Amino acid sequence: MPAPNQSVYTNNYSSYDYYQDRQEKRGPGRIGLMILIGLLLLLVIGGGLTGVLYYSSHDQSTPAATPTLVIKTPTIKPLFRDTFANNSTGWLITSDQGKFSAKVGGGLMTLEDDDNKLLWDILPGKTFSDFRLDVDARLTKGNQNNAYGVYIRGDSTVTSDIGTYYRLELYGDGTFAIYKGVQDSSGNTENNRVTYQANAAVHKEGQINHITVIARGGTMVFMVNGVTIYTYPDTSYRGGLIAMFVSNLPGLAAGAQATFANLTVFPAG
């Protein structure tokens, strides 16, 4: 394992620093956890009593209808589109048994990491400045704390194919984070977390999330399933590459898989 603050980039992997930051800051402390458990017990008891009173006085024969999610995308000609029917785009499709694999075909890009690292696949030969990105993504295998998502406005450095960037990261438990990659004085990448929070718009493990990112000038709008979950003003990077990724965090069982479908990049408008 590398020394602290030392980055390793092999076969599309990111640095160990990313995982250390994620593990240290995720979840409440022990006292907070005890308080949270107590509040949950009160909610369960109160909710159970309320449920008994409600269902005793209401007809249960007609269940409520589940709303249908409708995502509106631009009707203008896209800058790029990939249905993943085949690999005509030229994605890096490769594998190493027991470590990682990247596949494209049948309408899906499938990224899998089995070695507790992060695996990305960069859209080859294209960079974008102002744009709107739409893609359907889903965590299809692994612990709900594993992650997947997109890089935008990325650029290579001497230590990595994606050394500076913005990254939207969804977790299987319904939370999300925004990261900004910057170079330190030694040329290594620091993964700075901008925000980490839960949002009801983010579907959990096994369910499809429609990701939309609108980058216009120094403002980026991150949306999931048609809901704006975060707006990030930052002028550091005005353009660059796009990549899809899946991450299998250390401390979890080996193996995380995510699929991506219907990738489209539109003009920002």
Instruction: Identify which of 224, 196, 198, 190 has the alpha carbon closest to the alpha carbon of residue 209.
Output: 224
Taking the model in full, what pTM does it have? Answer: 0.77
- Residue 63 predicted with pLDDT over 60: no
pLDDT at 3 over 50: no
The pLDDT, as a whole number, for residue 144 is 94
Share of the chain above pLDDT 70, in %: 74
Q: Which residue has the higher pLDDT, 108 or 251?
A: 108
Q: Is pLDDT above 80 for 59?
A: no
Separation between Cα atoms, residue 251 and residue 147, nearest integer Å: 14
Assess contact for 119 and 244: CB atoms under 8 A. Answer: no
Q: Which amino acid is at 122?
A: I
Top-tier CATH class for 16-27+68-267: mainly beta
Mean of all residue pLDDT scores within the chain = 82
Give me the pLDDT at residue 46, please.
Answer: 53
pLDDT > 60? residue 190 = yes
Whole-number pLDDT of residue 42: 53
pLDDT, residue 11, reads: 37
Give the C-alpha separation, 160 to 130, whole Å. Answer: 24
Q: What is the mean pLDDT of residues 122-126?
A: 97
CB environment 32-63: b (16+ within 10 A), e (fewer): eeeeeeeeeeeeeeeeeeeeeeeeeeeeeeee
Residue 79 reports pLDDT greater than 90:
yes
The pLDDT value given to residue 40: 52
Q: Whose CA is closest to 260, among 143, 89, 98, 58?
A: 89
Q: CB of 255 within 8 A of CB of 144?
A: no
